[in-house]
Amino acid sequence: MDFLSQIIEYKKDRIARLMRSRSEASLRDESEQKPADRRPFIHALESGTSDDIHIIAEIK
């Protein structure tokens, strides 16, 4: 793997870990307030034209 690919993979992993921890915290907060009728849906979309990772987190 070249250097740029390693950086991209590291960033993807870091973002995924961050989103998981936020999702778990959100679920903990939510379970204290309401029954488990709401779930977070997290979509990580990688742009086809750049190396940026775009995160869209929506709670339904």
Question: What is the CA angle 38-42-47, rounded to 5?
Answer: 155
Name, in order, each residue with C-beta under 8 angstroms of 29's C-beta and a sequence gap of 6 or more: none
Q: What is the pLDDT of residue 59?
A: 46
Q: What is the pLDDT of residue 34?
A: 54
- Per-residue pLDDT, averaged over 5-27, amounts to 86
pLDDT band at 23 (very low <50, low <70, confident <90, very high): confident
User: In Å, how far are 6, 12, 36 from 55, measured between CA atoms?
Assistant: 19, 10, 24
- In tens, the pLDDT along 46-59 reads 444 444 444 444 44
- In tens, the pLDDT along 27-43 reads 776 666 655 444 444 44
- pLDDT above 70 covers a percentage of the chain that reads 45
Write down the domain spans for the chain: 3-59
Spatial distance between the Cα atoms of 49 and 38, rounded to a whole number of angstroms: 34
